[in-house]
Structure 1
Amino acid sequence: MAIMETDPATINRRTATTGDLGTLQQDFVVKTRDYKQQYAHLYFTRLVRMRQMVLTQAKLKWDSLDPEAKHVEKILDVQQGEISYLVGTIYMEMKLKPNILDDITKDHWVAAQPDRPKYTDDTDSVYLEDESGRVKLTGVKITNDVFVTGVVMGVLGSEDLNGDFKVVDICYAGQGPQEHHAFMETDEEDKHIALISGLGIGGNDFKPLELDLLSEFLTGEIGGVKEQTNCANIVRVVIAGNSIVTPPPTEDDSKAKKYGYDRSTFVTAPTLIFDSFLQEVCSSVDVDLMPGESDPSSVTIPQQPIHPALLPKTRQYSTFHSVTNPYWGSVDHVTLLGGSGQTIDDIYKYVNSDNRLEMAVKTVGWRHMAPTAPDTLWCYPFMNIDPFIMNKAPHIYFVGNQDKFATELVAGADGQRTRVVMLPSFSSTGTIALVNLRTLECKTVSFSTTKAEN
């Protein structure tokens, strides 16, 4: 960064308007907690709401075939040897996938298996199911593609002698409708959104000096006039989870046990540091704070907003917004959708590939950001809604706390454009992303206190 320059001209931060997305964001807020219902309701709701979306794409793709392909409404009504297409929910039969029924039937003295980075195995099978039943899917198309439990999909093929459905083509819901966005060439006065994840305050990789540099960058207190002008174009900051890493409570066996709150067993420093950081940033720009896996929030998704009482300095600012994970937002008519990484981390376990950007792009085509919930990703048992369905195609879709930065502009069949951004952990890489609200171009800014780096 350049040395601070003095300039008589005042540099003012640009402003942006925020929009109300109604039920898109409100559906992530769990107003009453009721765990009496079964998770089957969520699968049923997902299939009911997405069946017509997939069926529309299937008819466009397959109704003009010769010979004619027939749509069979119920999977169990498929006739052997008849070319037809079905719509249902994918179920992956994977012997390495955790199964709660297996766990409770085993001997309680058997040690639990360690967490696996992948559930994949050569014996895995793909099934399609609906209200009537399920059928096993076979064929080259099934072997060569990526499938995860919970995705609503259409398949074209026929039933073979073994009772399996041999697939020759597949289709998904595709990107949802999107508000028109005028894409133009980059201009010096373009507004940007700063996307950050994995501050990791209190963790082993935490570097206080890099956090200070980030704070000064976002508030425009670093660099020369040019850098400060660029910082003034940042109209919103989104922090996508894992901001705090609190060490586990330590217990001293030599001391007498205390019941209730024991100040000596908890470390408050990470929260205090984070509060001070947010206070500085919120004094200059609007901040949307999402919880993550390591933050003080609910374990199940959608994670509820971090309680403002934990951030006494920051909560006094009107520019501070504690939001859910996942989160919908709107800035200058540009819609954002993002999460803190749990959804892609879970999908990663279902596939052989290590390309997380590809997985995120596929969720856009599936029109569902968390298909593996509730199978292997913990979530709230919703009854009549599935808030993870992408009823609209966002202009910016980000995933936090990934191993490295990656981005791709995804184009839809009806002119939709979605900028997919994989955000790396700031504590590990010192990197944040800036997205141009007018062009959807994305670039990174890196901070380092290591002498070996520039």
Structure 2
Amino acid sequence: MAIMETDPATMNRRTATTEDLGKLQENFVVKTRDYKQQYAHLYYMRLMLMQPLVLAQAKRKWASLDPKAKYVEKILDVQQGEISYLVGTIYMDMKLKPNILDDITKDHWIAAQPDRPKYIDDTDSIYLEDESGRVKLTGVKITNDFFVTGVVMGVLGSEDPSGDFKVVDVCYAGHGPQEQHSLMETDEEDKHIALVSGLGIGGNDFKPLELDLLSEYLTGEIGGVKEQTNCTNIVRVVIAGNSIVTPPPVEDDSKAKKYGYDRSTFVTAPTMIFDSFLQEVCSSIDVDLMPGESDPSSVTIPQQPIHPALLPSTRQYSTFHSVTNPYWGSVDHVTLLGGSGQTIDDIYKYVKSDNRLEMAAKTVGWRHMAPTAPDTLWCYPFKDRDPFIMSQAPHIYFLGNQDKFATEMVTGADGQRTRIVMLPSFSSTGTIALVNLRTLECKTVSFSTTKPKN
């Protein structure tokens, strides 16, 4: 047996400062669950908060382009033939989109239609609406771009004889303000934040050995001196949802054991495995745990933190932080915003494109990470705020449980820089992402216990 070469000197993990983002993160916390209010409050607050931002961009973009164009405050006040611009909320009229009112009017014995991968159809129409009414949008600009319900947008054009608004250009709120962090301009050694999603413990794709490798990598117990030194530069781990998967019930009774339980199908409780994994990692590094669609948390977004009582061994560590989904964080003055993927999964159904990275970049430009909530994405009916508005541009914006890894650096009009990271499911790919807090560069690390094909 070969002996691994090790450095006799003790290796210490680098440290990083964290900052409480206050209201940004508190906006995702639901303190009292009251479902009596209507979702109209959420749409109203979104429009009221976003309208001034979009209007400022519209004036900035179109004032010199067409001096004759004037701003019309209410959609119903548009005059036919006059060049004008409006600001309102997009509504997509899609016949394939699920409608709860249609569902409850059907007889209860009629089976519901299966979930569609896409809602798009050739008969779809796009409308812009405000508190006064709505108008149908037409034009080449509309057909050549993609839109989703809930985005607040400005449009430039004129009303045609049929009463539709022919659009020649559109604009959005754009990237939010961003504080430049000092690490980018220094020669200090690199620090990394590890992003992982979709551990899938208990699922069909779960590989216990790969989870052990991940644990040993994050705690610096694997590899030689070089690998262990690199691990000391990881200052925080963020787990972006879908960590636990409850095995589905046996559908075929013939495959179930007639007497007692079948030992061959026995699976240790996923929460126990997850608790043991987190305990090992938290003994060495700070961990932020977000819930996902399959985790034991609220169904509606923002999902509330996973209760520490489910993780009895891990909760004893001060390095363990159970957070919401979505989640705002700050490490060494680098702001992070991320989700476990439901927001992009829902936007995906509205558009023809399959490029999820492009969709994520669009949300940064829209300054809203979950525009389809509450239309087709379940969310809490907020009445005094819309927590999904990006009031500032994050330095790192990540979305978990995607089909593959992808990353891009997007830049705002005022120099804002945001690193977008699409995280794949670890149980399917064995891949995690490391983001450099100094340069915002991103790379992947993959683990595999299967023999590579020749």
The alignment yields a C-alpha RMSD, in angstroms, of 2.0
Report the CA distance between 1:182 and its aligned residue.
4.2
Moved more, 128-137 or 183-192: 183-192
Q: Which residue of 2 aligns with 1:284?
A: 284
Cα distance in 2 for residues equivalent to 1:301 and 1:217? 32
Q: Is 2:369 the partner of 1:369?
A: yes
Cα distance in 1 for residues equivalent to 2:363 and 2:6? 48
Cα distance in 2 for residues equivalent to 1:442 and 1:170? 32
Cα distance in 2 for residues equivalent to 1:277 and 1:247? 19
Q: Which residue of 2 aligns with 1:101?
A: 101
Cα distance in 1 for residues equivalent to 2:349 and 2:153? 20
One-letter identity of the residue aligned with 1:443: K
One-letter identity of the residue aligned with 2:218: L
The TM-score normalised by the length of structure 1 is: 0.95
Q: CA, structure 1 residues 143+3, in 2 after alignment: closer, same or farther (shift >3 Å)?
A: farther
Cα distance in 2 for residues equivalent to 1:106 and 1:425? 37
Summarize deviations over 1:260-296 as a string: whole Å, max 9, x none. xxxxxx9761110000000000000000000000000
Report the CA distance between 1:249 and its aligned residue.
5.1
Q: Which residue of 1 aligns with 2:260?
A: none
Q: Which residue of 1 aligns with 2:298?
A: 298
Cα distance in 2 for residues equivalent to 1:24 and 1:248? 37
Q: Which residue of 2 aligns with 1:258?
A: none
Structure 1, unmatched stretches of 5+, are 256-265
Q: CA, structure 1 residues 7+188, in 2 after alignment: closer, same or farther (shift >3 Å)?
A: farther
The TM-score normalised by the length of structure 2 is: 0.95
Cα distance in 2 for residues equivalent to 1:41 and 1:83? 31
Cα distance in 2 for residues equivalent to 1:269 and 1:101? 39
Cα distance in 2 for residues equivalent to 1:110 and 1:20? 50
Q: Which residue of 2 aligns with 1:408?
A: 408
Cα distance in 2 for residues equivalent to 1:183 and 1:406? 24
Task: State the aligned residue count.
Answer: 444
One-letter identity of the residue aligned with 1:38: Q
Q: Retained in 1: the 8 A contact 2:183–2:437?
A: no
Q: What SS class does the counterpart of residue 57 from structure 2 fall into?
A: helix
Cα distance in 2 for residues equivalent to 1:133 and 1:100? 22
Q: Which residue of 1 aligns with 2:27?
A: 27
Summarize deviations over 1:77-99 as a string: whole Å, max 9, x none. 00000000000000000000000
Q: Is 2:178 the partner of 1:178?
A: yes
Q: Which residue of 2 aligns with 1:141?
A: 141
Cα distance in 1 for residues equivalent to 2:61 and 2:3? 59
Cα distance in 2 for residues equivalent to 1:249 and 1:303? 25
Cα distance in 1 for residues equivalent to 2:51 and 2:421? 28
Q: What SS class does the counterpart of residue 12 from structure 1 fall into?
A: coil
Report the CA distance between 1:107 and its aligned residue.
2.9
Summarize deviations over 1:235-266 as a string: whole Å, max 9, x none. 000000000001145699999xxxxxxxxxx9
1:32-431 superposed matches below 5 A: 32-182=32-182, 184=184, 189-248=189-248, 269-431=269-431
Report the CA distance between 1:65 and its aligned residue.
3.0
Q: CA, structure 1 residues 179+433, in 2 after alignment: closer, same or farther (shift >3 Å)?
A: same
Report the CA distance between 1:109 and its aligned residue.
2.7
Q: Retained in 2: the 8 A contact 1:4–1:222?
A: no
Q: What SS class does the counterpart of residue 193 from structure 1 fall into?
A: strand
Q: Retained in 2: the 8 A contact 1:126–1:137?
A: yes
Q: CA, structure 1 residues 75+267, in 2 after alignment: closer, same or farther (shift >3 Å)?
A: farther
Q: CA, structure 1 residues 425+186, in 2 after alignment: closer, same or farther (shift >3 Å)?
A: farther
Q: What SS class does the counterpart of residue 390 from structure 2 fall into?
A: coil
Q: What SS class does the counterpart of residue 44 from structure 1 fall into?
A: helix
Q: Retained in 2: the 8 A contact 1:330–1:336?
A: yes
One-letter identity of the residue aligned with 1:47: L
Q: Is 2:438 the partner of 1:441?
A: no
One-letter identity of the residue aligned with 2:19: G
Q: CA, structure 1 residues 136+180, in 2 after alignment: closer, same or farther (shift >3 Å)?
A: same
Structure 1's consecutive aligned runs of 4 or more residues displaced over 4 angstroms after TM superposition are 182-188, 249-255
Q: Retained in 1: the 8 A contact 2:202–2:267?
A: no
Cα distance in 1 for residues equivalent to 2:6 and 2:187? 25
Identical residues among aligned pairs (%): 88
